[in-house]
A = this chain, B = another copy of it.
């Protein structure tokens, strides 16, 4: 891999933005990395941790003239700033977003004169932790990255996107934005809601938190892990993917109610049949 860019601006210096900065810096120490974050504590922390070289404001000339801008901010913020950002950047700047929804983000710049300088991406990587301290350079290694509407990007944007995701160790998958959102509702967003609500149910009943600690095994910890995730990040994702997600929730609730009914009538064979079907998830998970 060659260094094909000289400057990079990262909007949002949390887990995702910080990890991109670290991964790129570790391979290309000569690339100048500017950091933009509305949260001054996060910005200061990112500088202190050497995630970035310099803190800048969103409308700084060097930022708007960077070779590459990565947006690692909540999807509502991406949608709010993307159009104006495209208007302001130089003709040789490429913007890549990393949001967990794609349809409404793509929609809001579909008619923009600089649409070709924007790459709609979703790196499938993350942990339940957030903020600059959670960032680490190997977060993306070996993971999948989804790119939507790649055919709408110009050559430079495609080149920079390929270079970026290869540099951090990801494998690209290409799909349309609507399809992305539908599948992600099931394989990611629903998991998060299931986990958040499980956490809530258990906190409500177990007033004495000591009991949870004592009685919970590793299975509980695993199922409820995502309940630690950031509400500020996830609320906009859920809202932007409302239609698919609500349908996924309908189906999940229906499965739970069906299971409960078999439990109540004492049909052990039916319960086992449902679990045997669920066991097939073994085939797709390692």
A interface residues (Cβ-Cβ under 8 A, vs B): 124-128, 143-144, 146, 173, 183-184, 186-188, 190-206, 209, 211-229, 231-232, 234-236, 238-239, 242, 245-246, 248-253, 255-257, 259-260, 263-264, 266, 268, 271-272, 274-286
Chain B residues contacting A231 (CB-CB under 8 Å) are 271-272, 275-276, 279
Tell me, in angstroms, the Cα distance from A279 to B202 when the chains sit together.
12
Q: Top 8 closest A-B pairs, CB basis?
A: A231-B275, A199-B278, A199-B281, A191-B223, A197-B255, A231-B272, A196-B278, A227-B278
User: What is the oligomeric copy number?
Assistant: 2
Chain B residues contacting A202 (CB-CB under 8 Å) are 186-187, 190, 281
Chain B residues contacting A212 (CB-CB under 8 Å) are 187, 284
Inter-chain contact A260/B246, CB cutoff 8 Å: yes
Chain B residues contacting A196 (CB-CB under 8 Å) are 259, 274-275, 278
With contact pairs A215-B124, A280-B203 given, residues A187 and B220 touching in the complex (Cβ less than 8 Å): yes
Tell me, in angstroms, the Cα distance from A230 to B106 when the chains sit together.
43
Tell me, in angstroms, the Cα distance from A193 to B201 when the chains sit together.
14
Chain B residues contacting A126 (CB-CB under 8 Å) are 217-219
Tell me, in angstroms, the Cα distance from A67 to B7 when the chains sit together.
73
Tell me, in angstroms, the Cα distance from A183 to B213 when the chains sit together.
11
Chain B residues contacting A183 (CB-CB under 8 Å) are 206, 211, 215
Inter-chain contact B224/A285, CB cutoff 8 Å: yes
Chain B residues contacting A256 (CB-CB under 8 Å) are 193-194, 197, 249, 252-253, 256
Chain B residues contacting A221 (CB-CB under 8 Å) are 285-286
With contact pairs A263-B239, A278-B200 given, residues A187 and B173 touching in the complex (Cβ less than 8 Å): no
In addition to A203-B278, A203-B281, A256-B256, 13 A-B residue pairs with Cβ atoms within 8 Å of each other are: A146-B215, A183-B206, A186-B201, A188-B215, A188-B216, A191-B220, A196-B275, A196-B278, A200-B278, A213-B284, A225-B285, A231-B276, A231-B279
Tell me, in angstroms, the Cα distance from A255 to B234 when the chains sit together.
17
- Closest B residue, CB atoms, query A224: B281
Inter-chain contact A279/B227, CB cutoff 8 Å: yes
Tell me, in angstroms, the Cα distance from A173 to B210 when the chains sit together.
12
Minimal beta-carbon separation of A225 from chain B (angstroms): 5
Inter-chain contact B215/A277, CB cutoff 8 Å: no
Chain B residues contacting A186 (CB-CB under 8 Å) are 201-202, 205-206
With contact pairs A190-B201, A209-B283, A229-B275 given, residues A215 and B144 touching in the complex (Cβ less than 8 Å): yes
Minimal beta-carbon separation of A127 from chain B (angstroms): 8
